[in-house]
Structure 1
């Protein structure tokens, strides 16, 4: 993180905090889950839930007909208004290795390059993540991505139903690095594929690309649950690969939902619950939750830093995001701090102070002798002065004690 983070639920998305996350939606249903209703806020916008995967016979996710007119809570929590005055990600390319990024999304217009069939997004998850990373603000809506001037390159890491595979994700990471992406976002977790995903991340690292991935699944399919429906605890790939920035989510109240799948050794946490972003086509919005969405926001923050300080390597960007994060059990992303603060380890190292060399003290002998002579002379002067006063007066009294005169002595004889 952060218990002291300033969460202000802006505009019409105040009621989003009570909308059920996608992790609680029925078994990866596309659109058959009910829209969430607000609790007493008649002005809240009802947004459809974001699907994570589609069932075999489910139709593709359609564009949302609902638009969020206010800002999302996550935008305020991350201090985007201040951070975007410093950097908006211009000149940085972020790869989205996910379900694809749909064409026809106004907030991403002109900034998406699709590789292969990644220009279509039947599920909508990749488009949603790309919006969290780089959506530009639109008239009539307060929703914006973290790096609204970054470019997106879309690559497939799943099939058209949203099911990821190690081969597709590894190929997506390699291709993204070869195409010059400075930040590579992976939208899904995998329980297998350690070897090929580790090799793919190494390939990206050699090309100075920063890989960001979720440290927990957004939801766990029934077939992957353990005995008694116990959720697995990881590791999850590629987040568990050394060098990957592994991210977990938290909600508007600063904590993860108790029903969320357990995370495996996250490096960083970021807003990921009740997130609002673009749907697959059109200007409408969806709402979703999960670590994958927290990772998308972190990828956007990395783009801000890489645009503002292009001289930093991918490893240095990671260290800066971690060093400026708000301290918590899992440090919390703070884009504004990453752009404006200098971590302790990055501060200039000043040379160790050299102790002053004072000259050796002079021999005190002559000084002491001089003081003794001066003191003796002063005593002589004082004695002479005293005698000059006492002797005349003594002679005048005939050396009699004070108060007696010489005639008094003669009278007594």
Structure 2
């Protein structure tokens, strides 16, 4: 959220700090190079994305960087519904089987981006430790935010956010970043916030469009929507080396950074894997972390969950998502303040009477022992003399 950008928790666990700091040394899976790339938009004449025949094994670098193994010991997202406002989510995908509810025609994903994002949020793990989501017991609410080819519009995204909030989603992931629509999308976010739903969105598009005349990339806008709206958790991305691709849109103002480049996930059909990059995928990881926190701390409001994620993040520019710290950190009551230490409890003054009584008993006991010792010496000598005086 906008108000939380400079109010970061400065005391993450040492393990979490080392984990995030060392993420630059975590390579992508060796067998992920040959995976097909996930798309966000298809041409008018292109067929729907087919199932991938490729599979990546081993834990993806993104899950390792986020410490997912430790987080799952505390929360798996049970009882939380995350809305995915995107290209749709395939309801028959094995990794999400039985946990997807679709509004309208959002149960069919021709493009694959929405299903890929949903997998990063909540896909169940596999026996070989392959692609999985941060919150594997969360439910997914598929909401259409684009047309069937992946083309987004302000009206569709705004309506999708409202529909997600009305359907009871406590986390609303938006997979697109639009250059316009400030009024409509700000209003839609305010509506969702009024229903205690946390909206998570990418800070910028995954890729900038090209100028039709010159072929050059269009310069990025200073802000995009709905990420720039008050109450939205705006997320940017980083890759296995800790940096961002040279051609990635660069704008300031992110609340969090999360793994988003060269990440591995599921496709819209079948059990094969895809690979993708962009801030939209970093936002998906953040939405999964929000589901973990909302599951573990159901008493927290959407605003409190957002603050928990941003202030418990590893301090950097922007701060980096740390789900385990968000699940365990105890923040100060006032945003930006130093967490208060626990009050020292001074015990009441102890009465001296028990001590005096113990000393009396000890003295009496010592006296008895001395008497017994004396008698042990005197009695035998007295008997030997027939109890006559000495001399």
Q: TM-score, normalised by structure 2?
A: 0.78
1:161: Cα distance to partner?
A: 1.1
Q: 2:254 aligns with which of 241, 257, 266?
A: 266
Q: TM-score, normalised by structure 1?
A: 0.74
Q: How many residues align?
A: 325
Q: 1:244 aligns with which of 229, 232, 236?
A: 232
Structure 2 match to 1:336: 324
The alignment partner of 1:136 has SS state of coil
Greater alpha carbon shift after TM alignment, 338-347 vs 182-191: 338-347
The alignment partner of 1:5 has SS state of helix
Structure 1 match to 2:109: 121
The alignment partner of 2:21 has SS state of coil
Structure 1 match to 2:219: 231
The alignment partner of 2:155 has SS state of helix
Structure 2 match to 1:282: 270
Structure 1 match to 2:348: none
Are 1:92 and 2:80 counterparts? Answer: yes
Q: For residues 271 and 181 of structure 1, what CA distance do their matches in structure 2 show?
A: 24
**Cα gap change, 1:301/1:225 in structure 2, threshold over 3 Å: closer, same or farther?**
farther
Q: 2:51 aligns with which of 63, 73, 76?
A: 63
How much is the aligned-residue C-alpha RMSD, in angstroms?
Answer: 2.4
CA contact (8 A) 2:209 2:218 kept: no
1:225: Cα distance to partner?
A: 9.7
Higher relative contact order (CA closer than 8 Å, sequence separation 6+): 2
Structure 1 match to 2:157: 169
1:231: Cα distance to partner?
A: 2.1
**Cα gap change, 1:199/1:341 in structure 2, threshold over 3 Å: closer, same or farther?**
same
Q: For residues 105 and 255 of structure 1, what CA distance do their matches in structure 2 show?
A: 32
Pairs within 5 Å for 1:140-155: 140-155=128-143
- String of CA shifts for 1:33-78, please: whole Å, max 9, x gaps: xxx5xxxxxxxxx211111211111111011111111110001000
Q: For residues 35 and 31 of structure 2, what CA distance do their matches in structure 1 show?
A: 11
**Cα gap change, 1:335/1:351 in structure 2, threshold over 3 Å: closer, same or farther?**
closer
Q: Any stretches of 5+ residues in structure 2 without a counterpart?
A: 1-7, 9-16, 346-391
**Cα gap change, 1:118/1:146 in structure 2, threshold over 3 Å: closer, same or farther?**
same
Q: For residues 147 and 176 of structure 2, what CA distance do their matches in structure 1 show?
A: 12
CA contact (8 A) 2:31 2:56 kept: no
- String of CA shifts for 1:324-346, please: whole Å, max 9, x gaps: 10011100000000011223447
CA contact (8 A) 1:99 1:121 kept: yes
The alignment partner of 2:200 has SS state of strand
Q: 1:298 aligns with which of 265, 286, 308?
A: 286
1:148: Cα distance to partner?
A: 0.3
Q: For residues 199 and 124 of structure 1, what CA distance do their matches in structure 2 show?
A: 28
Q: For residues 215 and 317 of structure 1, what CA distance do their matches in structure 2 show?
A: 19
1:6: Cα distance to partner?
A: 2.7
**Cα gap change, 1:224/1:170 in structure 2, threshold over 3 Å: closer, same or farther?**
farther
The alignment partner of 1:338 has SS state of helix
**Cα gap change, 1:129/1:226 in structure 2, threshold over 3 Å: closer, same or farther?**
farther
The alignment partner of 1:86 has SS state of coil
Are 1:82 and 2:70 counterparts? Answer: yes
Q: 2:36 aligns with which of 44, 48, 53?
A: 48
Q: 2:177 aligns with which of 176, 182, 189?
A: 189
Q: 1:218 aligns with which of 202, 206, 221?
A: 206
Q: For residues 216 and 293 of structure 2, what CA distance do their matches in structure 1 show?
A: 44
Q: For residues 9 and 340 of structure 1, what CA distance do their matches in structure 2 show?
A: 24
**Cα gap change, 1:352/1:82 in structure 2, threshold over 3 Å: closer, same or farther?**
closer
Q: For residues 156 and 234 of structure 1, what CA distance do their matches in structure 2 show?
A: 26
Structure 2 match to 1:407: none
**Cα gap change, 1:155/1:224 in structure 2, threshold over 3 Å: closer, same or farther?**
farther
**Cα gap change, 1:351/1:60 in structure 2, threshold over 3 Å: closer, same or farther?**
same
The alignment partner of 2:147 has SS state of coil
Structure with higher Rg: it is 1
The alignment partner of 2:172 has SS state of strand
CA contact (8 A) 2:59 2:130 kept: yes
The alignment partner of 2:294 has SS state of helix
